[in-house]
Amino acid sequence: MTADLWILLSLALLTELLTLPPLVARGSVPGGIKWIFYNRDTELADVAPWGGRAVRAHSNLADNLAMYAVVIGIAHFTGSTNDVTQVAGIVLLIARVLHALVYISGIPYLRTAVFAVAQVSMLVYVWQTIAHFLAH
């Protein structure tokens, strides 16, 4: 498996792992365990603020995962990957891990900066794919 596909697999695993912090936050309040196992028709009160941020960090990565899969997949299957895309993939993965940690910790400006780094790394993938087609 190529480095690009390992990056994509790692992003999918990170998305799955980010389902756990909200469960910890919700499970630690009175009635939280019951809420987790029931239908969740109502919101759970008294969840720590970091729990809400953990939900949003997971949602953000889940929302972007489809775009990452499309861009990395196209680059991979068209043979557009190279050393530049591998570095961009590593930067993307590191940025997304940092984004989750910073988001859950509640550091607003750094969260936005790290998210921007991840998005720029996707633009690098797109650029490398376009450059590959223009060169051939």
Query: Among residues of the chain, what percentage have pLDDT more than 90?
Result: 85
Q: pTM for this structure?
A: 0.92
Higher pLDDT, 31 or 95: 95
Residue extents of the structural domains in the chain: 3-15+49-135
CA atoms within 13 A on the CB side of 70: 7
Confidence of residue 136 (pLDDT cuts 50, 70, 90): confident
Q: How far apart are CA 127 and CA 81, in angstroms?
A: 11
- What's the pLDDT tens digit per position in 100-133? 999 999 999 999 999 999 999 999 999 999 999 9
Instruction: State residue 68's pLDDT score.
Output: 97
- What's the pLDDT tens digit per position in 56-84? 999 999 999 999 999 999 999 999 999 99
pLDDT for 43 beyond 90: no
Total count of residues recorded for the chain:
136
Q: How far apart are CA 131 and CA 4, in angstroms?
A: 17
Q: How far apart are CA 63 and CA 136, in angstroms?
A: 33
Q: For the chain, what is the mean pLDDT?
A: 95
